[in-house]
Amino acid sequence: MPDAVELRLVTSSSFPSGTGSFSYRGEYQIVVQNIAFQKDVVILGTTGSGAPFIDRGAVFQESLPDGRELWKLTTGDEVLEFVAKYTVLGTAFFDNNAGANYTQPPVFDEFDALVGRVPQIVLGQSGFADATHISILAAVKNLAFVKQVGIVFTTNNWVTSGVAFGHFDHTLKSGNEVWKVEALVGTATRVDFAIFYRVNGQEFWDNNFSRNYTLLR
């Protein structure tokens, strides 16, 4: 059985507010086992500098296969140290990064992404890059220097499929890497795909919880 609660992806960004300061936006994706209908999913964290750890409540997004749910938190607070907490039937479950807590580097007029303890690769952004290509950004844990990132995709509901390999784009403050994959899809109006990551003789996938990802135009 998967863990009761898993931090999946944290994205953070800041931008000039026009008053000489920066506005911040953070987004947290949390996956939980649907043990009971009534539940509380939060990010328990601190903004640093001696600030207390407080709960920031997440909101249900959608049901997932295998009895799981996706919850999301969006906040204007720059939470620098945190854990994911799931309370259900009087029991609290934690994803605390194997006891080390999660830490997010400060972000000033930049973007960062933090991958949870369990996933090794997650989709960042995807879309149609132009009239004939799709473009995908994926965040991966830097498990070794030599690695391969790519996608398996189809434009005809898996009657046929193709493979496109990506290239390293940049390293984030959190130490994760961003890889970019582009694929020629012609004039297709729908593209389904899943992302793979090959490293150290292992293969990891982000296939949208066994549903694959879909792009439409």
Whole-prediction pTM value? 0.86
Domain-ending residue, one of 80, 100, 115: 115
Domain-ending residue, one of 77, 92, 115: 115
When divided into structural domains, the chain yields a total of: 2
Chain segment 108-149, per-residue pLDDT in tens: 777 888 999 889 999 989 999 999 999 999 999 999 999 999
Residues 196 and 130 in one domain: yes
Confidence of residue 1 (pLDDT cuts 50, 70, 90): very low
Confidence of residue 8 (pLDDT cuts 50, 70, 90): very high
Residues 97 and 134 in one domain: no
Chain segment 167-214, per-residue pLDDT in tens: 999 999 889 999 999 999 999 999 999 999 999 999 999 999 999 999
In which domain, by residue range, is 64 found? 5-115
Structure tokens at 91: 């029991």
Residues 14 and 83 in one domain: yes
CATH of residue 172: 2.60.40.2440
The pLDDT of residue 155: 98
Residues 108 and 151 in one domain: no
Beta strands of the chain (E only): which ranges?
Answer: 5-16, 22-33, 40-46, 54-57, 59-64, 68-75, 81-88, 91-95, 102-103, 111-115, 121-128, 133-140, 148-154, 162-165, 167-171, 177-184, 190-199, 202-206, 213-216
Residues 77 and 137 in one domain: no
On the question of pLDDT at 86 being above 60, the answer is yes
If one counts every other C-beta atom within 10 angstroms of the C-beta of residue 210, the result is 10
